[in-house]
Structure formats: C-alpha cells, structure tokens
A and B are shown apart, each in its own frame.
Chain A
Amino acid sequence: MSVIDSVIRQPLVHGDKTYHDVTTDICRPLENKPTKLWWIGFVLSFLFFILLVVTLTITTAVGIGVWHINKTIMWGWDITNFVFWIGIGHAGTLISAILLLFRQKWRMSINRSAEAMTIFAVLCAAIFPFFHMGRIWVGIYWVFPIPNAFGSLWVNFNSPLLWDVFAISTYFSVSLIFWYLGLIPDIATVRDRTKSKIRKYWYNFFSMGWTGSARTWSRYEIASLILAGISTPLVLSVHSVVSMDFATSILPGWHTTIFPPYFVAGAIFSGFGMVLTLLLIARKVLNYQEYITINHLEAMAKILMLTGTLVGLAYITEFFIAWYSGVEYEQYAFLNRAFGPYWWAYWTMMSCNLIAPQVFWFKWARTTPWFLFMLSIIVNVGMWFERFVIIVTSLHRDYLTSSWAMYSPSWVEICIFFGTFGLFFTCFFLFCRFLPIINMSEVKSIIKNRE
C-alpha cells in the first residue's frame, strides 16, 4: 500500500494538513469560549424554541381547534411540516450510508453534520403528527402496540399511518446509533486532549473506553459497513412509507403509484438543500473552508440538480398520467392544482424545484458559495411548497362539491412551524459547541490519499 497521488483529482482536504492540524482545527470550537456569533445564533434559536413550547402548550390545552384545519382539509400545515422535516432528514443518511457504500470519500468531511441534521430534523418532524392527535396523553396507545385498558384493542397494522410510526421510530433510532458509533473515536480524541475535569468525565463517559486498537477498528469498519447496508434500504423505505400515507387513499392527486420514488427523490433534494444551507454557514463561521471545500459544494450541487430534475420529471409524469388515465376527477385535481385557487403554491413549487436547480448546469453556479446559499434556500422553500401543494390542493376540492373549502393557517400553526426551526437550530448550535462537527478520524484517513 502506498500513498496514491492522483493527477486528475484534487485532494479532498486542502491546506496540506497534518494529522495534528486536523485535531486542533476541528477541536477548536469545542475547546475555546463560544464566539459572539455562536451566542447570537443560539439565543435567537432558543427564543424560537420557547415559542414552540408555548404554542404547543396552547394547542394541547385548548385543543386542535386553535389550528385552522377543517373537516375537508384535515391535514394542513402540520402534515406539510412533518413531511418537510422528514425529507430534510434524508440527506444525512444518504450521505453517510449510500455514499459509504459507493465509496465516495468526499462524504467524510460532511457526514457528521449531515447525520446530526437527520436526527434533529426527525425530532422536529415527530412533533407534528403527535400533536395533531389532540389528546396526546392517550395518543401513545393509538400509535404503539401497547396493551391497554380500552378493551384490549390493538393498533391497526393495515393502516399506512401505523407503518409510518414504525418507519420513523426505527429511522430515528438507527440514525442515532449510526451517528453515535461514528462519534465515539472522535469523542475519545477530545477526551485525551481536554484538561478540565468535568469535560474529561463526560467525554470519557461517552467515549466508552475507546482506545483505537487495531482489533476494535477492524470490527468497527465491519459494523459501520453493515449499518450503512441496512440504513440504505431504511432511508428509501421511510419516505416511501410516508408517501403511502397519501398513496393508499382514493383521493385524486394522492392516489398515485409514482409516489414512493417521487417522495424519496424529493426528500434527498430537500435534504441536500438543507445540508448546503447549514454547511455554507458552518464553514464560514468556523473557518472550515479547507475541510468543506468548493469541491464538496460542487458535488452537492450536482446531486441537487439531479434530484431536482427527477422531482420535476415526477410532476410532469403525474400531469401526463392524469390526462392519459381519462379519469375526469384526476384530470380536474391536477388542473385545479395548476390553475385553481392555489395556483401560486403550485408555480412556486415548479419554479423552485424544477427550474431553479437547472442553473447548476453551469460551473459558476456550482462553485460560488453565496449563490449556492441562495439556491439552497430556494430549494427549501420549494420543497415545503411541494408538500403544501400535494396535501392542501388535493384535499380542498374532493368528490363532494358541498364540502369544498379553503385553508389558511392560524397564528398558532405558523408559530409551531417556525418554533421547530428554533428546536432544530438550538440542537445544531449545541452540537457545534460540544461535539466535533467533522469526522476527525475519517478525515485523517484520507488526507494523505488522493483518490
């Protein structure tokens, strides 16, 4: 085995780092006092988090009536936000699992933060269906197969909503294990550097006695390969199951067999949008431009373009199939999406998701950070609108003309949505403060090899 010096490929990490440089650079935010920017960001997110707690308390105390969902549009912003957050989570698993199986080494400096993003996003997502159940204190019996006092009734395994419960709780716990396993060697590094007693205690506690023995590494590599192998079908299944919440119903606009792959592509698209948003800030604020290089950004932009185009193809296919099926209800549902009362949502979705990512055909667009940042926000907005379009425009005009209705969110719904951003960023800021956001051990293994 020798050092591979490729002439055609750029090194994955710039700046001719030594192993020790990697350790000091990545441990820096953990070992120094937080910067002013960190405090501003943290306090701001925490305020939004408080808003979340307050509005969720109002929802629980008063009831679901404080939301503006109605009999016709029984799923509004809540399920839109749920699908939005779950989708965001997908990029983390895609980067760490699927790119590991494909031996894509550029994943190594971004997988840690992307996986953290997955976990926080799933946490945010879970809030919505849970609180939508109204009486959350009995809700646990409706979603988990627990023996109960209501006449030994079990949950309904024929329902996709229950599959979703299983899919999302599995996804959350498996992602957590995968993330934690990856963190252990790095926590050990921090443990061996720190001087403070309290910090040493906790880093020692969570490092589980890691030494970096060759035998452990050998098993570790096998374990992460297996975890990647099972996470790959898992991540594909989670959003497929989410899409079945819609696809197994008979509502025009939902009753579509294209949903599972279409949702998965959309999830990866929105997830990469969010990863880009986060990493573009993180690399600037923490000064990690040499680790998260322009090449990383470019690779992510290419995935955005691919998945964005896939999603666009799905939109067009849906339209075509609605026409081709000859079912007038289907045809009406899609025409109503594009030209009905919610036309603005539909065209926002189309332009943000299908048209906007096409700029990534140009190298300049893929390699200019400020432009990428803008585009990543547009992608996030577009994907939120996609879920809004699917849910609200399909529901608001159903088979019965007498039940047609309109929907706009109440202030509580809006506050809960922005509150979840508070929760998400609070978690993320704490993560940046206490854990290394770049996988040190993996980056060390690639800084000498250029492949």
Chain B
Amino acid sequence: MFCFSKSIDKRNLIYGVFDDENKLINTVETVREKGIEIFDCFTPFPVHHLDTAMGISRSKLSVAAFICGATGFGLGLLLQFYMMVFDWPMNIGGKPTSFRMLPSMVPVVFECTILCTAFGLAILFFIRNKMGHGVVPDILDLRQTDDKLLIAFDSDKLTKYNIEELNTILKEKGALEINKYSGKYAVKNK
C-alpha cells in the first residue's frame, strides 16, 4: 500500500472561496499576471481550461500509457510464441503452430495491450497523484468536494504587500470568503 503523506499542515495557506468556475478562472489569470504564486486550486468538479490558466503543463501520462501498451503488446506476443511455438506446439485440427499462426495471435495480443495500458495507466496515475487507499486527504475546507471552488496560496512565499493585494483581488473577483487554513480536517484515521 502506498503511504505518502502530503502534509499541508506545515504550510501557512490562505485560500479564497468561490462558487463559480468562471470567477475562479478569472482570478487565476489576474493573480498570475501580477506574478503571485498559486499553491493550488481545489474544485469539486473538473473545470476546463483551469489547468492552462494555472500554467500546468500537460501531463505525460499519455506517453506512459503508450509505453505500457507497447509492453503489453510485446508480452502478449512473447506469451503465445513461447507456449505455442517454442515450448509445446500442439497440433489441434491441423492449425499452424509456427509463425504462420500470427493471425490467430491478434486477439490475445490486442487484449494484453489493452490490459497493460489500463493497469499501467491507473497505477501511474495513482502514484503521480500520491493517491492510495487510506491516505489522509489534504482537505482545506470540507466544502471543496461539495460546492465550493478554492484557490490556495502559500503565505510564506508571499510578501506582505502581496497579501494585501491578494485580498483586494480576491474580493474584487467575487470571492465569498478569504480564510486561513486552520489545519483541521475531520477525517483523521491515524
């Protein structure tokens, strides 16, 4: 079991609470223009173009998935060649057991490719996000998985001027609240 702790507890986070994705994207764009570093955004649903607005580069998961798929393809071929051609060729109904059986290898090779892609992708996705069964989630505010969209800043990385400026920007853009992360989250299993 993966057990990464991401611990936002040690950071002094401040966050703005929004109830509309367009206001959030607007804020992200303005804040980035001013050169203020965003810690992260938290949304209850996928907000399109938020990643580009935040300047998150496209994940390389697709490349990884391709490599997993190619591995599966190879494994599928290897499996069948080893069993049917090399180790113990079986003559059943006169069907070929040499390289001539390649056409009938297609379905199994295909399934192996898909299987490895899916499993590889899922496992890499979980590792990349430091997700795992039983990981204590980094929840700033319980409403972030319900109906509120958060934009969080690490106040240690902001100067005092920044913080004031930030407050005005957030209010101007329609933030409902501006809170300090208090380090309290109801799910504590450990």
Q: Which residues of A contact B (CB under 8 A)?
A: 1-3, 18-20, 23, 145, 152-160, 162-163, 166-167, 170, 173-174, 177-178, 181, 184-185, 188-189, 191-193, 200-201, 204-223, 226-227, 230, 233-234, 237, 241, 244, 440-442, 444-445, 448
Contact = CB atoms under 8 A, between A and B. Distances in A.
Contacts of B15: none
A167 B107 CA distance: 8
Contact of B119 (A173, A184, A206, A448): A173
17 contacts: A18-B147, A19-B147, A157-B101, A174-B115, A177-B119, A185-B45, A209-B136, A209-B138, A211-B145, A214-B47, A215-B56, A217-B50, A218-B58, A219-B125, A222-B61, A226-B65, A444-B147
A127 B135 CA distance: 35
Dominant secondary structure at the A interface: helix
A205 B87 contact: no
Interface string B41-60: 11111111111001010110
Q: Most A CB atoms within 10 A — which of B40, B43, B133?
A: B43
Contacts of A154: 83-84, 87-88, 90
A3 B107 CA distance: 45
Interface of B: 6, 19-22, 25, 40-51, 54, 56, 58-59, 61-62, 65, 69, 79-80, 83-84, 87-88, 90, 92-93, 95-97, 101, 104-105, 107-108, 110-112, 114-115, 117-119, 121-122, 125-126, 128-139, 142-147, 186-187, 189
B121 A227 contact: yes
Given A152-B88, A166-B111, A221-B46, 9 more contacts: A23-B147, A153-B88, A170-B111, A185-B45, A193-B142, A209-B6, A213-B41, A214-B54, A222-B59
Contact of A20 (B41, B87, B147): B147
Nearest to A186: B145
B104 A200 contact: no
Contacts of A191: 137, 145, 187
Contacts of B58: 218, 222
A206 B62 CA distance: 25
Contacts of B97: 158
